Chains A and B, each alone.
Chain A
Amino acid sequence: MALRVRGRAWRLGDGISTDHIISGKFKYQKARLEEMLPYLLHEIIPDFYRKVKPGDVIVAGKGFGYGSSREHAARLLKMAGVGAVVAMSVHRIFYRNAVNVGLYIAISKNVPPATETGDIIIVDLDKGIVGNETKGIYERLPPLHPIVKELLEAGGLEGYVASRGKLPWEADNLTSHP
Chain B
Amino acid sequence: MDELTLTEALLSMKLGNPPSPGEHVVVDVDLVYLHDGTFTLALEVLRRLGAERVFDRRKVLLFIDHAAPAPHLAAATTHLAMRRFARKHGVKLYDAGAGISHQVVAEEALAGPGDVVVGADSHTVTLGALGALATGFGSTDAAVAMASGRIWLRVPEPVKIVLSGEPPGWVMGKDIALALLGALGADGAIYSSLEIRGPALKAISMDSRLTIANMGVEAGAKYTLFPVDEVARAWMEARGRKVKPLSPGVRARYSDELVLDVSGLEPMVAKPPRPDNVASVSEVDGVEVDQVFIGSCTNGRVEDFHAAARILRGRRVRDGVRCIAVPASRRVYMELLRDGTLEVLAAAGCIVAHSTCGPCIGAHLGLLAEGEVAVSTSNRNMPGRMGHRESKVYLANPATAAAAAVTGRIIDPRTLLPRGVRLMEV
Q: Which residues of A contact B (CB under 8 A)?
A: 14-15, 17, 19-20, 23-25, 27-31, 33, 43, 62-63, 66-72, 74-75, 89-93, 96-97, 100-101, 145, 147, 156-158, 161, 167-169, 174-177
CA distance A168 to B148 in the complex (A): 12
Do the beta carbons of A23 and B152 come within 8 Å of each other?
no
Do the beta carbons of A147 and B24 come within 8 Å of each other?
yes
Do the beta carbons of A66 and B138 come within 8 Å of each other?
no
Do the beta carbons of A74 and B138 come within 8 Å of each other?
yes
Residues in chain B near residue A72, CB distance under 8 A: 41
Query: Which A residue's beta carbon lies closest to that of B36?
Result: A28
Residues in chain B near residue A67, CB distance under 8 A: 122, 380, 382
Query: Which A residue's beta carbon lies closest to that of B187?
Result: A63
Residues in chain B near residue A28, CB distance under 8 A: 37, 66-67, 72, 74-75, 361, 363-364
Shortest CB distance A113–B (Å): 15
Query: Which A residue's beta carbon lies closest to that of B191?
Result: A92
CA distance A156 to B45 in the complex (A): 11
A-B contact list, 26 entries, CB within 8 Å: A14-B187, A19-B382, A19-B384, A20-B382, A23-B362, A24-B363, A25-B362, A27-B37, A28-B74, A28-B75, A63-B190, A63-B220, A68-B37, A69-B121, A70-B38, A71-B41, A72-B41, A93-B136, A96-B141, A100-B138, A145-B24, A147-B24, A157-B140, A158-B49, A167-B150, A169-B150
Interface residues in B120-156 (C-beta closer than 8 Å to A) = 120-122, 135-141, 144, 148, 150, 152, 154
CA distance A28 to B71 in the complex (A): 10
Do the beta carbons of B380 and A169 come within 8 Å of each other?
no
Shortest CB distance B27–A (Å): 10
Query: Which A residue's beta carbon lies closest to that of B51?
Result: A161
Candidate in A147, A169, A175, A177 with the most chain B CB atoms within 10 angstroms: A169
Shortest CB distance B122–A (Å): 4
Given contacts A69-B122, A71-B38, A167-B144, contact A89 B384 (CB under 8 A): no
Do the beta carbons of A147 and B38 come within 8 Å of each other?
no
Query: Which A residue's beta carbon lies closest to that of B386?
Result: A25
Interface residues in B171-190 (C-beta closer than 8 Å to A) = 186-187, 190
CA distance A90 to B75 in the complex (A): 30
Inter-chain residue pair count (beta carbon < 8 A): 141
Do the beta carbons of A100 and B26 come within 8 Å of each other?
no
User: Within 8 Å of chain A (Cβ to Cβ): is B20?
Assistant: yes
User: Within 8 Å of chain A (Cβ to Cβ): is B389?
Assistant: yes
Residues in chain A near residue B263, CB distance under 8 A: none
Residues in chain A near residue B339, CB distance under 8 A: none
Do the beta carbons of A177 and B24 come within 8 Å of each other?
yes
Shortest CB distance B157–A (Å): 12
User: Within 8 Å of chain A (Cβ to Cβ): is B209?
Assistant: no
Residues in chain B near residue A69, CB distance under 8 A: 38, 119-122, 136-138
User: Within 8 Å of chain A (Cβ to Cβ): is B114?
Assistant: no
Given contacts A69-B38, A89-B187, A97-B138, contact A31 B74 (CB under 8 A): yes
Query: Which A residue's beta carbon lies closest to that of B221?
Result: A92
User: Within 8 Å of chain A (Cβ to Cβ): is B383?
Assistant: yes
Interface residues in B222-253 (C-beta closer than 8 Å to A) = 222
CA distance A147 to B152 in the complex (A): 10
User: Within 8 Å of chain A (Cβ to Cβ): is B23?
Assistant: yes
Given contacts A93-B137, A169-B152, A176-B20, contact A66 B187 (CB under 8 A): yes
Do the beta carbons of A23 and B186 come within 8 Å of each other?
no
Given contacts A31-B78, A92-B191, A93-B137, contact A24 B41 (CB under 8 A): no
Q: What mask results when residues 46 to 62 of chain B are scored 1 for a CB within 8 Å of chain A, else 0?
A: 00110000000000000
Given contacts A19-B380, A92-B222, A145-B24, contact A101 B74 (CB under 8 A): no
Do the beta carbons of B144 and A157 come within 8 Å of each other?
yes
Shortest CB distance A142–B (Å): 11
